[in-house]
Homo-oligomer: A and B are copies of this chain.
Amino acid sequence: MSGADQPEGTARRPSRQRSAVLALLDDLDGFSSAQDLHALLRERGDAVGLATVYRALQALVDDGQVDVLRGADGEAAYRRCSPVHHHHLVCRSCGTTVEVADPPVERWARQIAAEHGFADVQHQVEVFGTCRACTTAGPVVS
């Protein structure tokens, strides 16, 4: 456990299963849980073990090719995303996701951290809401 395992992101042996996971993520729009992805792969005919899905997902997250989000229930949700830094605007009803880049927030986070003497800053920003389609179509039943 010394931290950095692979010198670079692509030091792993290529495999059909890994590509299948990435391909599936490419086809999906919103965030999906690891269990869902596993079930979908099975339906597609790409038989992949559950443990392998987790391994592939972790590798992809390490590589920065996939974003991970923790829902309120602690379940991890994954999504293919652009490698550049960005944040998400997620519809809490239909799961649609919009990627947003935002220099002001980046700057603000760095500044706040610097003011308090914090270094090596990371920040995590997610915005949840109900998209227009869901607002008009299906208001939450009370």
Expressed in whole angstroms, the Cα–Cα distance for A37 and B111 within the complex equals 33
Checking B105, B113, B130, B142 against A89 with a beta-carbon cut-off of 8 angstroms, the contacting residue is B113
Q: Is A12 an interface residue (CB 8 A)?
A: no
B residues in contact with A75, CB < 8 Å: 74
Instruction: Tell me the number of copies of this protein.
Output: 2
Expressed in whole angstroms, the Cα–Cα distance for A109 and B122 within the complex equals 18
B residues in contact with A142, CB < 8 Å: 2-4
Expressed in whole angstroms, the Cα–Cα distance for A126 and B69 within the complex equals 13
Give the nearest-CB partner of A87 in chain B. Answer: B112
List the 8 closest pairs (A to B, CB-CB), nearest first.
A118-B129, A117-B132, A121-B129, A70-B70, A74-B74, A123-B127, A122-B128, A120-B130
